Amino acid sequence: MEKNYIKLEKIDTSTAAKNFAELLQEDKTYFLNGNWGSGKSTFLQDVNKNKKIKLITMDFWRLTDNRSMIEVTFSKLHPIFYLVLMRLSLVVFVIVSILMTNVVDLGLGEYFGSEKSVILKIGGLVSLGVAVWNVFKYKSDELYSFLLTRLHKFSKILVIDDFDRMLEKQQEDCYKLFSLINGKLPIIFVGDMTLLYKREDNYLSKIIDRQVELPFVLHSSNIWDSYFHLLEKKFGVYLSENFKKRVKSDQRNLRDREHFNDYVNKEFFTRRKFGRVQVEQQLLIIYAYLFYPELYKKMLNNIQIVIEENEKTKLEDFLRKGYTIKELLSEIQKVDNEQYPLSFNKNSMEYFLYEVPMNRTKDELDTLFVEQSDKFIQELLNSNQKTDFYQYLNNQFADFSDIQKKSLLNIVINESMKFKNSPSMTLIVQEMYNEIVPPYERNYPLTKDVISKIVEMWENILKPAGLDQSEIIYFLKKHRVLSFHNLGCYFHDLDIGCQTFTKYRRKDFLLLTYLASVEKFSKFDSWDSSIWDFINHFNDTEFLSFWTFQSILSNEYGFDGFNIIPENKKYILWTGRYMFAPPNDYVSYEKTVILNIREKLNQMESNGFVFEAKIDELKKPLSMKT
């Protein structure tokens, strides 16, 4: 996945580096000002590319050996002299003198002839000096101090890095060093001047000849602008000005940006979140994790971030900086923007760091919806509101082409006629319904004119697909376009005594609509023989569906499962119930319903169906419960 990583482009500071290098021709003291992580070291590397100068960088605050600051500086400015003449020559002298003694005589004296005695004496003195040095740990810097003031520096420039991070004792030693070499070579102190000014007895501020600021291209506003452009190009999105303003106003530096980008690469590419989360919301969560850990912790613990009245951004600040990070995080906690991939509000776990997303990318679902294979149909039938399939459909349907929408609707129509149903199928119908007859035209209760417009619109779609009148009613009710009451208002002239009615493919829905039109829905004692005769023409599916809507039968799937026959074929047969409306009278169905359908029930029981007789006591008055 690293090949997809976002690589930060090197910021061109060559012009500023060249100008600074020319400035360093004078043996003065400079202060390169910038906070930690702002790119000072990188800028100095560009300065060092100039052939006329050579930067010698000292990181005294990282010094770990016991050498003095003056000795370390001398070793950096004159490395060959320090190594060969001051260290190696002494060691060689001692070794040679020892090897020429009588104790260890390898014959080396023959090579030196008459000079042997002189060398032995010098070696002895050197050995004695080294011994004394080691015994008393002599640490005088007089020799190095003397040499520093005498030896030529050959266009070298001393850089004292991170001066503001040095301990007070280290800074005092640094001042001693400065007093020795001041005016003999250019010296650059590097650090954050604001931190130095906060210290008492700030000697450095009095000895600086020139204070130099970092190039403007390294300013936080510039480095983040270019980075945002890089993100937008990589992810194919536009980041909001609100988000960009707020990040820039936080004055995060180059090191912060590099750290942030590292997490962006890890989350989007290593953990494959690209295409599975909304880009800006994921960036916001990463930003909170790095720079607002307390707020991130609240979100991780599912604690709502509350914005107090005095914390709300004022208009003037909003125009300049945008909303605060706290406000932005609170907003994505509370509000779903109804887009795919799912928002933090709908799918928070996918956004937290180190989580691996389980949902598919938008590109994967785009392909699935375009191909409309058997796999697509299976997902259409089996998906629910929690699946990425449904959420993608819900958020993307408006952007589909007219051809794609029509194709989806045709699939839904075909599957509906096979007694199939799902939330995704109903969603497609509802979206098409909203486009043709907008919700603002459907104020409830619906007028007869609006009902007529809705039915006629759907008839123009469903009749060419081969649906008869009963199936059109079935489709409109099944997908919650119209209620039985509304359907009865339109189909008010149904004649169930007509012989042609028995030829319809969904006779149950035809009768249910008729009962609604004559206001006999669930009023069993007012049903005449024509209604019962019509019921006798039902097949098993129509029989079960009809009595489910009349609340005489129910299964584990409820009203939405009116078309679903459970594998165990088990149903509850309600033989009576206490009415919903006060005074909650008890109504028995034994004579009005059960007696009239007993023969059909017995027939179905012989085919494996189970009807468990019960009384619905949900609304039974407390005074009557034992």
Strands 210-213 and 553-554: unpaired
Average pLDDT over residues 421-426: 92
More confident residue, 553 or 271: 553
More confident residue, 396 or 135: 396
Collapse the DSSP code of 468 into the 3-class scheme (helix H, G, I; strand E, B; otherwise coil) and give the result: coil
Give the least confident one: 54-63, 253-262, 274-283, 331-340: 54-63
The yes-or-no verdict on residue 456 having pLDDT over 80 is yes
Phi-psi region of 393 (alpha: psi -120 to 50; beta: other; left: phi over 0): alpha
CA–CA separation, 351 and 63 (whole Å):
42
- State pLDDT tens for residues 551-606: 999 998 888 888 889 999 999 999 999 988 888 899 999 999 999 999 999 999 99
* CA-wise closest residue to 435 among 419, 454, 417, 462: 454
Average of per-residue pLDDT values in the chain: 83
Which amino acid type is present at position 563?
N
* CA-wise closest residue to 389 among 408, 413, 415, 416: 408
* CA-wise closest residue to 585 among 624, 552, 551: 624
CB 575 within 8 A of CB 589: yes
Q: What confidence score (pLDDT) does residue 610 get? A: 96
CB 449 within 8 A of CB 490: no
Q: What confidence score (pLDDT) does residue 97 get? A: 53
Which amino acid type is present at position 477?
K
Average pLDDT over residues 49-55: 72
CA–CA separation, 20 and 447 (whole Å):
81
Percent of the chain at pLDDT exceeding 70:
86
Q: What confidence score (pLDDT) does residue 482 get? A: 94
CA–CA separation, 132 and 141 (whole Å):
16
Q: The pTM is what?
A: 0.61
The yes-or-no verdict on residue 67 having pLDDT over 50 is yes
Q: What confidence score (pLDDT) does residue 76 get? A: 79
CA–CA separation, 247 and 227 (whole Å):
11
- State pLDDT tens for residues 101-122: 555 554 545 555 555 565 555 5
Two tokens at 416?
């509906």
Return contacts of 359-368, CB within 8 angstroms, 24+ apart: 359/276, 359/388, 360/276, 360/388, 361/274, 361/275, 361/276, 362/275, 362/392, 362/396, 363/275, 364/275, 365/340, 365/389, 365/392, 365/396
CB 399 within 8 A of CB 365: no
Percent of the chain at pLDDT exceeding 90:
43
Residues of the chain with CATH 3.40.50.300: 13-216
If you ran DSSP here, which 8-state letter would residue 11 be given? P
CA–CA separation, 70 and 142 (whole Å):
9
The yes-or-no verdict on residue 170 having pLDDT over 60 is yes
Q: How many CA atoms lie within 13 A of 535 on its CB side?
A: 22
CA–CA separation, 478 and 513 (whole Å):
13
Handedness of CA 197, 199, 204, 206 (dihedral sign): positive
The yes-or-no verdict on residue 439 having pLDDT over 90 is no
Local confidence band at 136 (pLDDT 50, 70, 90 cut-offs):
very low
Collapse the DSSP code of 492 into the 3-class scheme (helix H, G, I; strand E, B; otherwise coil) and give the result: coil
Q: What confidence score (pLDDT) does residue 358 get? A: 79
The yes-or-no verdict on residue 400 having pLDDT over 60 is yes
Give the least confident one: 12-26, 129-143, 570-584: 129-143
Instruction: Give the H or E element holding residue 602.
Output: helix 595-605
CA distances, 423 to each of 51, 57, 341, 414, 427 (Å): 72, 68, 19, 16, 6
Q: What confidence score (pLDDT) does residue 111 get? A: 53
Q: What confidence score (pLDDT) does residue 296 get? A: 94
Q: What confidence score (pLDDT) does residue 239 get? A: 95
CB 69 within 8 A of CB 60: yes
CA–CA separation, 239 and 369 (whole Å):
27
CB 212 within 8 A of CB 30: yes
The yes-or-no verdict on residue 253 having pLDDT over 80 is yes
- State pLDDT tens for residues 181-229: 888 888 888 887 777 654 555 666 667 888 887 777 777 778 899 899 9
CA–CA separation, 44 and 42 (whole Å):
5
How far is C-alpha 461 from the geometric centre of its chain's CA atoms? 42
Collapse the DSSP code of 30 into the 3-class scheme (helix H, G, I; strand E, B; otherwise coil) and give the result: strand
The yes-or-no verdict on residue 451 having pLDDT over 90 is yes
The C-alpha angle with vertex 298 and arms to 294 and 301, in degrees rounded to 5, equals 135
- State pLDDT tens for residues 337-383: 888 888 999 889 899 998 878 788 888 999 999 988 899 999 999 99
Give the least confident one: 61-75, 129-143, 453-467, 579-593: 129-143
Collapse the DSSP code of 458 into the 3-class scheme (helix H, G, I; strand E, B; otherwise coil) and give the result: helix
Superfamily for the 13-216 domain: P-loop containing nucleotide triphosphate hydrolases (3.40.50.300)
Give the least confident one: 97-101, 254-258, 308-312, 372-376: 97-101
Two tokens at 417?
């006629």
Q: What confidence score (pLDDT) does residue 51 get? A: 59
